[in-house]
Structure 1
Amino acid sequence: MPEDPIHHIDFDELSSRAISQPLVTHIYTADPSAHVFGGKIYIYPSHDIDAGDAFDDLGSHFAMEDYHVLSMNSPEDTTAEDHGIALEVQDVPWAAKQMWAPDAAEKDGTYYLFFPAKDKEDIFRIGVASSQSPAGPFTPEPEAIRGSFSIDPAVFKNDDGEYYMYFGGIWGGQLQRWRTGKFNAADEQSPFAHLPMDHEPALCPKVARLTRNLLEFDETPRDVKILDENGVLLLQGDRERRFFEASWMHQYNGKYYFSYSTGDTHFICYATGDNPYGPFTYAGRILEPVVGWTSHHSIIEFQKKWYLFYHDSSLSKGVTHLRSIKITELFYDENGSIKTIAPYSGNP
């Protein structure tokens, strides 16, 4: 689907086959991080705009400037409520541009918004802002999290009360520029510089336990190792399974499910493990490709059912940086495997 020229797509017909429709249509939204707070679903998406930036493999055309918070009383709702602007880039002292995919967490009645943005030196960092309301507005910390880098923070609360941040993304997400532990600015216009060779292990996403106040890393970030069926790290050339971006973590029946996007092959995949650090063994696909280049998701349980939040570019008729968030129910089989979802499998 993503490889087809958009003028070959009948979007009316596609909409009739879509398994779900956009939750908001007055703005473009993407990268939905959903959580249940106080019995209500809150969604923390990116807010897509058409800023006129050039299209490139670094993602310069994803030039978001603020965040909105959305909410739903039930997954059965056909629309989500927009609570308005929760945080703007101009209010973050260290940030310059590109407020990409965020996430949120709650602890002791305070709500935390975690977000990536480029700093004044054009390097992605991860920041945190707080509020007494899940809908915001959020007040940012004056500095980015010390030792943070790359994009797509996803914060997971474990059974023992510890919070972990998963993060990272290659190409425009800059993860490949941190292979030595320091930022490598060489070949700054190439998203492919510094990547492993196809026969080498793929770059791993990162995980770090957070401090008790959720404002800092409590440890040096570690690799999240994703293994094949033989216990070997996935290779960089295994583009249909290796990690690209969009980390998410959830638990089901005592297992840890780490899910992510494969980026240039457009799948949402997952791997399972026995603890928050992994390693995780590749287990399959959650979502087949959607309209638009990117794919990004979250997974929640609500009233004993499971749901996948995701996005596509059907509302904008295929404009890849103008996306819309959606929801569909997610199912497991008797062995705990997630059943693959085809986003346009409805009857025409």
Structure 2
Amino acid sequence: MRQCRMLIHAAFAAGLLLTGVAHASNPVFPGWYADPEAAIFQHQYWIYPTTSLRYSEQTSFDAFSSDDLVHWTKHAGVLRMADVPWAKKAMWAPAMTEKDGKYYFFFAANDIQNDKQLGGIGVAVADHPEGPYKDLLGHPLVDAFHNGAQPIDPFVFHDGDGSWYLIYGGWKHANVVKLKPDFSGVEPTADGKTWHEITPSPEYVEGPLMFKRNGKYYFMWSEGGWTGPDYSVAYAIGDSPLGPFKRIGKILQQDPTIGTGAGHHSVFHVARDDSWFIVYHRHPLGDTDGNHREVCIDRMEFDADGKILPVKMTREGVPPHAL
């Protein structure tokens, strides 16, 4: 058994598909990973997580692809700090999108504490989902504090009218800003304002996400401390990506029989059958190392009124689900 596990980890390290070995279980792939970004590119599921190590060791990103949410292929080093000349301290919290045949990789870097330090949110670009990604601008896309929000934890939202938005923010503040069509910067919205604060409640901490369902905008985020057991996910619903948003409640939190610190999530939406899956990280039971985080997938469902039902964390994960 020990030899089998070693072979599995070796196969992942080599970037091989574990067909016939992987199975529906949480975590979905081995290794310490966090802040998973979920995307569907080229009729495949993709997960882009933070490499959950000490800041000084967070110098590259891996990606994982799957045809069925069960069997995963590792793509190592899709973006490296060496390809982002202004990134020096750490990189984390990916956000992904595709536009006009190009793939864009947004990320946080350097953990700046004030406007005098270099860093913030960057963007890289590639011709393929697996990279390699190269820095797009030569400098951060967002490099300063606005409305009290630390420039970290980006999420990119494409609205039905063609507008692109960047939702981001730590230090208990969330902003939304309209992106220029080429992602080279930001621009004012129709009201002439650029930096819109959409902090939904005092409980907001970081990890924002947005999607649209049945004409309503769902704003989700993480609460609590990322190293502790109380990390969790809450949400609000609004009529515009600019808000206002009022907190409805938590939908994902620790389960003392499964895992703790469940948060910083993303979602897959399978349009053909309107299935939703939440992708998140959590700490193994009994493990107190804050960087020991694993990526998991469970179902996310809605009630008749469009409210998100509490997510049941599982060890089994989800069964195979084709796109």
Secondary structure of 2:264's partner? coil
> 2:219 maps to what in 1?
258
Q: How does 1:1-348 map to 2 (within 5 A)?
A: 20-25=25-30, 27-49=31-53, 51=54, 63-75=57-69, 77=70, 79-118=71-110, 124-141=119-136, 142-149=138-145, 150-170=151-171, 203-219=172-188, 220-226=194-200, 234=201, 236=202, 242-264=203-225, 265-289=230-254, 291=259, 293=261, 295-302=263-270, 303=272, 304-314=274-284, 317-343=287-313
CA–CA separation in structure 1 for the residues paired with 2:120 and 2:168: 11
CA contact (8 A) 1:294 1:320 kept: no
Stretches of structure 2 lacking an aligned partner (at least 5 in a row): 1-23, 146-150, 189-193, 317-323
How far apart are residue 288 of structure 1 and its match? 1.4
CA pair 126-206 structure 1, distance change in 2 beyond 3 A: same
Secondary structure of 2:242's partner? coil
Secondary structure of 2:82's partner? helix
Secondary structure of 2:280's partner? strand
How many equivalent residue pairs? 270
CA contact (8 A) 1:308 1:328 kept: yes
Stretches of structure 1 lacking an aligned partner (at least 5 in a row): 1-18, 52-60, 171-202, 227-233, 237-241
CA–CA separation in structure 1 for the residues paired with 2:60 and 2:153: 15
CA contact (8 A) 2:298 2:312 kept: no
Secondary structure of 2:152's partner? coil
CA distances 1:41-66 after superposition (whole Å, capped 9, x unpaired): 111110122x4xxxxxxxxx585111
CA–CA separation in structure 2 for the residues paired with 1:97 and 1:345: 34
Give the letter aligned to residue 87 of structure 1. Answer: L
Q: Which has the higher contact order (CA 8 A, sep 6+)?
A: 1
CA contact (8 A) 1:267 1:287 kept: yes
CA–CA separation in structure 2 for the residues paired with 1:63 and 1:245: 22
CA distances 1:204-253 after superposition (whole Å, capped 9, x unpaired): 30110100102211233210142xxxxxxx3x4xxxxx210000001111
CA contact (8 A) 2:262 2:283 kept: no
CA contact (8 A) 1:271 1:281 kept: yes
CA contact (8 A) 2:238 2:244 kept: yes
CA–CA separation in structure 2 for the residues paired with 1:297 and 1:66: 20
- Root-mean-square deviation (Å): 2.4
How far apart are residue 300 of structure 1 and its match? 2.2
| TM-score normalised by structure 1 residue count | 0.72
CA–CA separation in structure 2 for the residues paired with 1:62 and 1:260: 26
| Percent of residue pairs bearing the same amino acid type | 32
| TM-score normalised by structure 2 residue count | 0.77
CA pair 62-157 structure 1, distance change in 2 beyond 3 A: farther
* Mean Cα deviation higher: 120-129 or 85-94: 120-129
